[in-house]
Amino acid sequence: MKDKYLERSKFFKLEVEAKLINGTKTGIKIRNFPQIVTDTMPEFGGGDAGPCPVELMLASLAGCVVETAIYIAKRARIRIGDVRAETRALVAKDGEAYALENVETTLKVQVLSPGNQERARECLGLLEKYCIVTKILAKSVPIALSLIVTNEKPGV
């Protein structure tokens, strides 16, 4: 079975536009999706009208980990049910600015195929290799990625 994703061009272009709405609130346009609003947290003088960009970056990491896990499981023909990722990080003062530290992502995967938990662990161990957001962020901050594979639906 050929992978439609791999049949596409080797390169594709992504575009995002960000525009000031007012104060510290920014509107972000991605393709034809509804506008995403970001804002600075009140602790930093913002209006808290939406998630801050760092939260969206962490959301991108969690989303990419989940989507990559689904892709890997599908390619390995491992039937999965519920898939969740929880991502946490610490923003710490770094001189006059702030830096991201201690980024941790926990992926929880429900394996529906009996007896395939160990195989699923091995396959999902490829996440760091194939998750593009993990690869990008890991160049600037260490990311601790942990994996929980179970045959039960994982709780949050």
Give the pLDDT confidence of 37-93 residue by residue, as tens digits.
999 999 999 999 999 999 999 999 999 999 999 999 999 999 999 999 999 999 999
CB 100 within 8 A of CB 54: yes
Q: pLDDT tens-digit profile of 80-124? A: 999 999 999 999 998 999 999 999 999 999 999 878 888 888 888
Global confidence as pTM: 0.88
Alpha carbon of 45 to those of 38, 51, 78, 84, 90: distances in Å?
13, 14, 47, 32, 19
Q: What is the mean pLDDT of the chain?
A: 90
Ramachandran angles phi, psi of 16, nearest 5°: -135, 140
CATH architecture of 53-150: 2-Layer Sandwich (3.30)
Give the tens place of pLDDT for each residue, 15-29. Answer: 999 999 999 999 999
What does the pLDDT read at residue 121? Answer: 86
Residue 3: pLDDT band with limits 50, 70, 90: low
